[in-house]
């Protein structure tokens, strides 16, 4: 076991594609726990999958990439307007197979209540298909009302499919809940459920979760953002004060990217190859600005979500405003934020005032001092918990989606987001974040320096294990 631990340490140091923070954590675990630490790394630290699983995902990614319909002329138009934005769009297209779209109507929802009031009537209009993929589903006012519509639509012959994450919904759904939905005529699948197995590769894969939030109706209307389907997201249940989250709806060609993203996961859990072309949207909605939905997978060696965030920070000239429920960042993000602030960019971050996970809140606050010293302004959303994941910069670009600013989202989870270049929604996102500044409380350096010694000790301890949180 000692020899195995030494080999693990050598392997960790040798991996050039492993984040330094991730390396340090596993080195500490292996040194402190020389027997179990090595086993833990082999199970959860090494992201290599079984050849069968790796081949399955690779084939799905290739099929979906071929199904995309890029419009190169749009990149040229964006380049003429702003070359830095076109470079970000090119990155997402080349590394996430994410085409750029126009003629897509967008509507932004600054709260779960506004989203849900718009969502249910749209769901009622479904005539052909409804595809839903979410991290958390929980019976209650929000999900029960949605399920009632899904059940009726399935009876009418609409193709209704639902995917949820096996860990995200582990404590919110009854066992074998998929059987309940299938009895209603709904095609239901669980991604990566937790269960005992003799295949070690299955335990390695448990670290990867489906954190995406997608609903596509008839291939023409698509919803996404940070919302799950549980009552706190529409404030029908009091949890951590006011639960602030955001979403948006797309209508038009860009919905196709959400459809393809859904089918990537459906193909894996169900083993079916869809006829992508039959789901191409038929309607256009002339509007200003460009839209680029994109997905991130932890299995391709490319950290798309983090790189998209870094591109926004690095191109900013005037301001970057950010909201994130968790601020557990690696050296690259911390350096980019600090450098932007030191260069005169107005960098502001909104984090929760009331945490949903106290230990993550302690860890989040451990990053404040370095950022504040660099000139970053940090606000805590005092009305409650802010679950929204958003970036906006220079009135030119915004990103809204499912990817948190933590190691799990940026390195281990399946995520989806959408970049907006120009258009009204960029202003909507900026206005909403500015309202969070007004509703929140700005954190001061004196306040951070007054942190008690025992809390600082916890922060130091938690920082070692940040890549697991």
- Provide the token pair at 19: 């984040």
Map the chain to HEC letters: CHHHHHHHHHHHHHCCCCCHHHHHHHHHHHHHCCCHHHHHHHHHHCCCCCHHHHHHHHHHHHHHHHHCCCCHHHHHHHHHHCHHHHHHHHHHHHHHCCCCECCCEEEEECCHHHHHHHHHHHHHCCCCEEEEEECCECCCHHHHHHHHHHHHHHHCCCEEEEEEECCCCCCCCCCCHHHHHHHCCCEEEEECCCCCCCCHHHHHHCCCCECCCEEEECCCEEEEECCCECHHHHCCCCCCEEEECCEEEEECCCHHHHHHHHHHHHHHHHCCCCCHHHHCCCCCCCCCCEEEEEEECCCCCCCHHHHHHHHHHHHCCCEEEEECCCECCCHHHHHHHHHHHHCCCEEEEEEECCCCCHHHHHHHHCCHHHHHHHCCEEEEECCEEECCEEEEECCCEEEEECCCECHHHHHHCEEEEEEEECCHHHHHHHHHHHHHHHHCEECCHHHHHCCCHHHHHHHHHHHHCHHHC
Q: Write down the pLDDT at residue 32.
A: 73
Q: Taking the mean position of all CA atoms in its chain, how far away is CA 107?
A: 19
Backbone angles phi, psi at 393, to 5 degrees: -150, 130
Query: Cβ distance 64 to 276 under 8 Å?
Result: yes
Backbone angles phi, psi at 302, to 5 degrees: -120, 120
- Provide the token pair at 78: 């964006």
Report the C-alpha gap between 239 and 285 in whole angstroms: 38
Q: What angle do CA 5, 33, 54 make, to 5 degrees?
A: 55
10-residue averages of pLDDT along the chain (469 residues): 73 66 71 70 63 82 89 92 94 95 96 98 97 97 98 97 94 93 96 70 72 97 97 95 97 96 94 90 88 92 93 97 94 94 98 92 92 97 97 97 92 94 96 97 94 88 71
Pairing mode of beta strands 397-401, 105-109 = unpaired
Q: Write down the pLDDT at residue 412.
A: 86
Q: Write down the pLDDT at residue 47.
A: 58
366: number of Cβ within 10 Å: 21
Q: Global pTM?
A: 0.92
Q: Write down the pLDDT at residue 15.
A: 66
Q: Write down the pLDDT at residue 55.
A: 83
Handedness of CA 148, 150, 154, 158 (dihedral sign): positive
Nearest Cα neighbor of 338 from 379, 307, 369 is 369
Give the neighbor-by-neighbor strand order of the sheet with 389-393. Answer: 290-296, 415-421, 397-401, 389-393, 319-323, 346-352, 377-381, 441-442
Report the C-alpha gap between 437 and 71 in whole angstroms: 38
Report the C-alpha gap between 467 and 18 in whole angstroms: 11
Q: What angle do CA 187, 189, 194 make, to 5 degrees?
A: 160
- Give first-to-last CA distance, the chain, whole Å: 27
Q: Write down the pLDDT at residue 207.
A: 77
Query: Cβ distance 221 to 132 under 8 Å?
Result: no
Residue listed under structure tokens 């002329």: 73
Report the C-alpha gap between 433 and 13 in whole angstroms: 40
Q: Write down the pLDDT at residue 407.
A: 85
């Amino acid at each position: 076991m000692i020899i195995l631990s030494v080999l693990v340490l050598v392997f960790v140091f040798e991996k050039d594609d492993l984040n330094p923070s991730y390396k340090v954590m596993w080195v500490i675990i292996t040194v402190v726990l020389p027997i179990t630490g090595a086993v833990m790394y082999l199970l959860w630290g090494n992201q290599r999958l079984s050849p069968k699983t790796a081949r399955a995902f690779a084939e799905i990614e290739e099929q979906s990439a071929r199904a995309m319909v890029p419009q190169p002329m749009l990149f040229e138009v964006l380049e003429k307007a702003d070359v830095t934005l076109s470079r970000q769009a090119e990155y997402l297209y080349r590394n996430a197979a994410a085409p750029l779209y126009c003629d897509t109507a967008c509507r932004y929802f600054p709260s779960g209540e506004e989203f849900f009031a718009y969502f249910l009537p749209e769901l009622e209009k479904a005539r052909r298909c409804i595809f839903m993929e979410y991290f958390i589903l929980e019976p209650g006012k929000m999900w029960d009302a949605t399920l009632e519509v899904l059940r009726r639509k399935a009876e009418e012959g609409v193709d209704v499919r639902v995917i949820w994450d096996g860990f995200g919904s582990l404590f919110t759904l009854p066992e074998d809940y998929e059987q309940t939905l299938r009895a209603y005529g709904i095609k239901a699948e669980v991604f990566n459920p937790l269960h005992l197995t003799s295949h070690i590769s299955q335990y390695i894969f448990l670290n990867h979760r489906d954190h995406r939030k997608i609903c596509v109706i008839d291939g023409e209307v698509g919803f996404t953002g940070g919302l799950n389907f549980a009552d706190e997201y529409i404030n029908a249940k009091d949890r951590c004060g006011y639960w602030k989250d955001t979403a948006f709806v797309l209508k038009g060609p860009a919905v196709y990217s959400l459809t393809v993203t859904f089918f990537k996961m459906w193909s894996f859990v169900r083993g079916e190859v869809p006829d992508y072309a039959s789901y191409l949207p038929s309607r256009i909605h002339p509007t200003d600005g460009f839209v680029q939905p994109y997905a991130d997978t932890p299995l391709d060696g490319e950290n798309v979500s983090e790189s998209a965030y870094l591109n926004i920070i690095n191109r900013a000239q005037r301001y970057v405003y950010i909201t994130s429920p968790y601020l557990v960042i690696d050296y690259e993000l911390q350096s980019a934020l600090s450098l932007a602030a030191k260069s005169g960019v107005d960098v502001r971050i909104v984090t929760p005032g009331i945490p949903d996970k106290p230990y993550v809140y302690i860890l989040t606050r451990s990053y404040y001092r370095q950022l504040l010293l660099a000139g970053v302004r940090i606000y805590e959303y005092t009305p409650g918990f802010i679950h929204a994941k958003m970036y906006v910069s220079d009135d030119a670009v915004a990103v809204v989606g499912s990817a948190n600013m933590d190691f799990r989202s940026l390195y281990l989870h399946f995520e989806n987001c959408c970049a907006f270049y120009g258009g009204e929604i960029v202003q909507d996102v900026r206005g909403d974040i500015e309202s969070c500044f007004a509703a929140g409380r700005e954190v001061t350096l004196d306040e951070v320096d007054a942190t008690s010694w025992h809390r600082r000790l916890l922060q130091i301890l938690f920082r070692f294990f940040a890549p697991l949180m």
